Structure 1
Amino acid sequence: MKRTILNKTVGVGVLEWKAEETLSKSLESYKKEKIIKLFDEALIHFQDGNENDKTIAKKFGFKASFEKNSGFLGGMVKIFNELKTDYVLFLENDFPLIVSHNNFKKQLENSVQLLEENSADVVRLFSKKNPGDLFSDVEKYLRYYKLQNPISHNVEKLQPSMFKRFLYNTVKIKNRRKFIGRAVYVEKNPHKIFPKKISKVGEFFIVDSSVINWTNRAVLLKRKFFLETLLPYINDNLKKKTTNGFQTPENILRKWWQDQHFKVAVGEGAFTHSRKDNSWRENYPFKKNI
């Protein structure tokens, strides 16, 4: 196996379940910018897949793996076990690329360097300015904090009234602290507003996990970190309450993640959340037409 970045191997895994049009749109964006050649391994894991899926994977330069639907956690575990690279970029079928090849290459190299230097434990690679559908971090942050120096006009559109912010800071004040990390999607200089929780390394903000949640959205991390640190905790703490009968990492990790003080890196980002088979929030200001 070749070693692509800093003498380390990097793989990309895409989780797919019955969304051929959406997946194809994402894969076309990767093909257009020729990013698959940046990886040592590329895998699409199909849940409830068929023979046609194997053809799709091959067409775009991916290996294919298959299983019955085992839910989000099951699919994620399968990807991290199938790929044998030092680092894994985990994507879902609805995360097309929205930056150029050179931009992405630079972000990927810088992300691996952060992880290699232990400056970060996980790097978020979904777009900061165009995160896409179902992204509510900005609204949640603005419920509690006054806007100072916004990163885009889209942010300004989501400001609540002063009265509404007052209510949240009165009635739900206990939640205020945990939304500090969302400042990286709102403010140009969040590290100056919250220096105890957010720092800056190069083009990245490093956020303490006590104030920013674990997310499955376009994340890059060490394969061993997922398999040897996150997964053992997940397996020992499965929830009675599930999502459609399946376990989800986000629900299981929530409280523990906050207590670990992991380092979460957030940079410009390269992917957005967008579905071919209609958006959930068509008029959302962060929705980018792909």
Structure 2
Amino acid sequence: MKLIQGKTVGLAILSYKSPQTLSKTLENYARVHLKEMFDDACVVFQSVGPKDLAVADKWEYRTVASGHYLGVIEDLRLTLENMRTDYILLMENDCPIEPNLSERDVRAELEKAVRLLADGEADMVRLRHAWRPGGSSNAAAKYSRYYDVNQLSASWQNAEKLSNSPQWVKKMRRLLFPKEARHSIGRAVYVEENPHLCFPDDIRKVGSFYIVDSAVFPWTNQPSLIPRRFLEQSLVRLSRVQQGLVNMSPDDLERLFNSRRWDSEHFRIAISKGIFTHTLKA
């Protein structure tokens, strides 16, 4: 059954020279029949090898591949050229589903995310699990370096060590590093019980989602459901930004996205409980 009537939703998994990680991730997705929830699903390879293709074929994923590696902008270009859906869940190959979530849980979360975008409430939805993110996530820890936690979220899982610095030290950090402090405000959604009340100018609540202004919430490479139109516009903009930067790694998508325009355009980033975690590549 489609996630939303009248629109199409695709799943694009970016993978580069890590067939073992991809295999574990796709096996994890099969547990909840994730692929079957989408109108289209593919693995986007650069510098693809026989083992990569064998993994995708085993789990019956369509493949898109280039002969050699050209960086993350090429990933976006390949995805957009080969997937025509209205919305695309864009993610890397090391983001399994949080193990406590059932097929019903995952579908319900995806349906709500797509509906939020279709209703025009947000420009993208981040779907990394808010309290069990996996890997080396330190979003909540960074927030606590600059701000006291007003009321710890009832869902807090102690996945990160929060700062115990005194209030005056945090105030001094905000004065000395105003940009870093402002960019940490969005991370309140991961630790505060009511982040929209703590920062009403930057965060609002819509149903089970928090909508955060991009001026206080930098881009990070995590599973995100994004309208095709937004990705197309981003590809043009990122290509221009990359041309103006020197010593630029082709993998540095976060640096590319987090330009002045990211702050000034006030994109609306939705956060909910989430679905996916993060593991180290095998």
TM-score, normalized by the shorter chain, greater than 0.5: yes
- Structure 2: which 5+ runs fail to align? none
Indicate conservation of the 8 Å contact 2:17/2:48, yes or no.
yes
In structure 1, which of residues 113, 128, 131 is the aligned counterpart of residue 130 of structure 2?
128
Amino acid in structure 2 at the alignment position of 1:63: R
Q: Relative to 1, partners in 2 of residues 1:153 and 1:58: Cα closer, same or farther, differing over 3 Å?
A: closer
Q: How many residues align?
A: 273
Aligned counterparts of 1:156 and 1:82: Cα–Cα separation in 2: 38
- Give the match's secondary structure for 1:111: helix
Name 1:265's counterpart in structure 2.
270
Superposed CA deviations along residues 179-199 of structure 1, whole A, max 9, x for unmatched, are: 111101111210011111111
Name 2:10's counterpart in structure 1.
11
More deviation, 155-164/209-218: 155-164
Superposed CA deviations along residues 256-288 of structure 1, whole A, max 9, x for unmatched, are: 1111011100001000111253xxxxxxxxxxx
- Give the match's secondary structure for 2:158: helix
- Give the match's secondary structure for 1:118: coil
Once the two structures are aligned, what percentage of the paired residues are identical? 35
**Corresponding position: 1:115 with 2:120:** no
Amino acid in structure 2 at the alignment position of 1:140: K
- Give the match's secondary structure for 1:237: helix
Indicate conservation of the 8 Å contact 2:33/2:103, yes or no.
yes
- Give the match's secondary structure for 1:66: strand
In structure 1, which of residues 202, 222, 229 is the aligned counterpart of residue 207 of structure 2?
202
Indicate conservation of the 8 Å contact 1:14/1:93, yes or no.
yes
Matches within 5 A, 1:1-290: 4-67=3-66, 68-98=68-98, 99-151=101-153, 152-154=156-158, 157-162=161-166, 164-227=169-232, 229-238=233-242, 239-243=245-249, 246=250, 248-254=252-258, 255-275=260-280, 277=282
Amino acid in structure 2 at the alignment position of 1:52: K
Q: What is the Cα deviation at residue 175 of structure 1?
A: 2.7
- Structure 1: which 5+ runs fail to align? 278-290
After TM superposition, the score normalised by the length of structure 1 is 0.88
Indicate conservation of the 8 Å contact 1:90/1:216, yes or no.
no
Q: What is the Cα deviation at residue 166 of structure 1?
A: 4.5
**Deviating 4+ runs (over 4 angstroms):** none
Indicate conservation of the 8 Å contact 1:122/1:221, yes or no.
yes
Aligned counterparts of 2:272 and 2:279: Cα–Cα separation in 1: 20
- Give the match's secondary structure for 1:154: coil
